[in-house]
Amino acid sequence: MNSATGSDDPRDYLVSQGFENYTETDHATWRILAKRQREILHGRIADQFLEGLDRLGIGEEGIPDFRVMNQRLKAATGWEVVAVPGLIPDLAFFRLLADRKFPAGFWIRKPEQIDYIEEPDIFHDVFGHVPLIMQPIYADYLEAYGKAGLVAAEHGALKRLARLYWYTVEFGLAHTPEGLRIVGAGIASSPGETIFSLESPSPNRVEFDLGRVMRTLYRIDDFQETYFVLDGIEAWPSLDLDRLIPLWLDLEAQEDIQPGELQPDDRIVTRGDGSYHLAKAKSAA
């Protein structure tokens, strides 16, 4: 989720993608990222994600042209990708989602940043996020999330919605007939976390529970200590405000949960041994 400050009017941030301004180096960077990530994701990500890439024409040839991509996206789910210069304020972000517009940075990382950048670029935003928006249930979930965010701002519950976004849209896993699969964009655009999220013994993997997720803190600087697992690729949580508002009130009386902490009533898919983060803490001491 975004965390910039400034105007809450999304129109103040919409810009042209400037497709004609991309250099050959920019397109070459995209090709390296897309080829590598598609190979790593095979057998690890939900099939619907790969189908979305193909249907949208998000391939390895170079940076996608939003004008071409949006024709296919609008026809499928009524959504469109809009270019923004970077992170935008929460309310502007929510308003765009509520209007079925997904904000994406138009710039791409430099070749020396292939493996890590601090702020999401077009590869993360488009390759990671957009393919699943071709799925009507997921598209509806994002719209409902935007509308819920506007209400959360009035109830002092933005941190609850940020955690939900983080643990579903960015770092979600899901049960499928083939086993656990990735559905989160933050994982889908990261080669390291793609493997770590599914195959490392370190993180916890816990069945999704809405209240539990909205109590749980998260890491922004490293792989996650806990991943939450949806019941299925179409099991995105209901964001009915009649349920959410009382839940937010109830959660105010409960303590936050640390990223790697398990709870007695957790339905555990995999109990992590914490080895990755313990080793990093030891080496930093």
Answer for the pair 71, 226: CB distance below 8 angstroms, yes or no.
Answer: no
What's the token pair of residue 11? 């129109």
- Is 124 marked within a binding site? yes
* Cα gap 194→91, rounded to integer Å: 30
Return phi, psi of residue 61, to 5°.
-75, -30
CA dihedral 163, 164, 166, 168 (to 10 degrees): 160
What letter represents residue 117's amino acid? I
State which H helix or E strand residue 250 sits in: helix 241-251
The answer to the question of whether 42 is labelled as a binding residue is no
In this structure, what are the phi and psi dihedrals at residue 17, rounded to the nearest 5 degrees? -60, -30
| Binding-site residues for Fe cation | 124, 129, 170
| Binding-site residues | 124, 129, 170
